[in-house]
Amino acid sequence: MPNVEDIVKEALRIVTPSQSEVKVINDTASEVMHILEGMLHKLGLEAEVTLQGSIAHGTWLPGDRDIDVFLIFPHNEKYINLVKSGELVRSLAAAISEMGISWVMNYAQHPYLTLTYNGFNIDVVPCIRIRPGEKPVTAADRTPLHTLYLRGRLSGLEDDVRLLKLMMKRINVYGAEVKVQGFSGYLTELITLAYGGFINTLKAASRWIPFKVKIILEPSKQVNFNAPLVVIDPVDPGRNAAAAVSLDSMAIFIAASRRFLKKPSMVFFTNSAQSPSESLTLTTPTLILYGEYPKGYVEDIIWGQLRRIASTIWSTVSSSGFKPIDIGLYTPQDNYIVVMLTVEEPELPEYEIHMGPPVWTDEAEAFIEKYLNASNVVGPFIRNGRWFVIRPRRIKSIKEAVAKSLKTVRGSVVKDSLLKGRVVLLRDASQVNELPVELRGIALTFMGKRPHWLT
């Protein structure tokens, strides 16, 4: 069996960018920054054009096509209003259009632009200049401070960060967005810095216990956070840099760290070579709902709605007498909205036992009157001090329960998409052929449950 050192050495060949790639990225970033500086000058705007994110930190992964450019504006009322209102971004967009560069406008706390240039996606984000510890005006204002803090401190640890990022990508916990609820790029850098390298980070994580881990890189006043993982942002002690990390994402990383240290393997750094269907010997009934991905909406909005719908489905299905096992959410290639629900049984008996109030309460009489003359119930009768009846079950199939839950959701483009889409009940892995090609691999993976790295 290969040892940890052998696997790390092999993985380094994957995560280390070539000199030609480094040159292309640096040249592209420089060109875009030069263009933006000229535009700002023509528009009469005062700003510092800066490179941020993993490119600036030297921790990007080969093949990444994203570059972050931040425009840092003076901290005064004029620029605060221009940034928050979106007027500044609209002015930039008009100037960029004149140069024939394609762009789309995205939204976080305020609008920003994503340009397509030389095969790269370049986020152009306006922000306000702040000092360390100063309250940010927008969420983007901290980013330049993050880069300043990491500059020099990460020297010699860049490859360790890359290894950690790739491993987190492969176990599906990389990214702070609502879709993933995992580890941001900045957080992976802070954790690597705190523990002093990739292997040391895995060793530490293998001992983590959720809600009992607090990482502090710089002395700061005590701030209590109720979160599975707490990493105090060194440039803003009042912020938990790990706030986005869900309990499941943290647990997956703990389990994967333990597994890698015990049984090191390249499966933690590569896509699984094994087809999900090869290990799928036992399946449980799985309901799959899917519809078209709503276009023109920010991903976090789509995923926020999708997670709320999943919570509603789980609650309604449970209260209807079904026993849900697992629920999965997917948006493959931004073409579909997909909800997958595994249950013990997709059909329930025709009758159910319905519990009423204790016999000594005021509500008891109303319960008796409701069911006393009903021809389709058994009872009322008393058990353990309460009234009961046996009545026909209103919802007998899992499809009915899910349809009922969707109808209770208000004002959701995701709900509208799912209601217009299809519902398929799979009782066996061979039935995945009933699904669109793009969903078959996802369905098999969800039905199989086992993580690909647990080999």
Strand runs labelled E in 48-141: 48-52, 66-73, 102-107, 111-117, 120-128
Distance of CA 370 to the CA centre of its chain: 47
54 is annotated as contributing to ligand binding:
yes
Q: What pLDDT digit, counting tens, does each position of 135-171 carry?
A: 899 889 999 999 999 998 999 999 999 999 999 999 9
Distance of CA 211 to the CA centre of its chain: 20
CB atoms within 10 A of CB 392: 11
Instruction: Using the CB atoms, write b or e for 100-116: b if 16+ within 10 Å.
Output: ebebeeeeeebbbbebe
66 is annotated as contributing to ligand binding:
yes
Fold of 17-150: Beta Polymerase; domain 2 (3.30.460)
112 is annotated as contributing to ligand binding:
no
pLDDT at 397 (0 to 100) = 93
What is d(CA 177, CA 293) in angstroms, rounded to the nearest whole number? 18
Which phi and psi angles does 232 have, rounded to 5°?
-70, 125
CATH 1.10.1410.30 domain extents, the chain? 158-268
pLDDT at 334 (0 to 100) = 84
CATH 1.10.1410.30 fits 158-268, yes or no: yes
pLDDT at 170 (0 to 100) = 94
CATH 3.30.460.10 domain extents, the chain? 17-150
Residues of the chain with pLDDT under 50: 273
Phi-psi region of 91 (alpha: psi -120 to 50; beta: other; left: phi over 0): alpha
CATH 3.30.70.590 domain extents, the chain? 276-347+395-448
Torsion of CA 358, 364, 370, 371, to 10 degrees: 50
33, 49 contact by CB (below 8 A)? yes
Residue labelled with tokens 């939204």? 107
- Rounded to two decimals, the pTM is 0.88
174 is annotated as contributing to ligand binding:
yes
Q: What pLDDT digit, counting tens, does each position of 10-38 carry?
A: 999 999 999 999 999 999 999 999 999 99
Phi-psi region of 64 (alpha: psi -120 to 50; beta: other; left: phi over 0): beta
pLDDT at 278 (0 to 100) = 53
**CATH code for 276-347+395-448?**
3.30.70.590
- DSSP 3-state assignment of 151? coil
DSSP per residue, 289-321: EEEEPPTTS-HHHHHHHHHHHHHHHHHHHHHTT
- DSSP 3-state assignment of 330? strand
- DSSP 3-state assignment of 235? coil
What single-letter amino acid sits at 173?
V
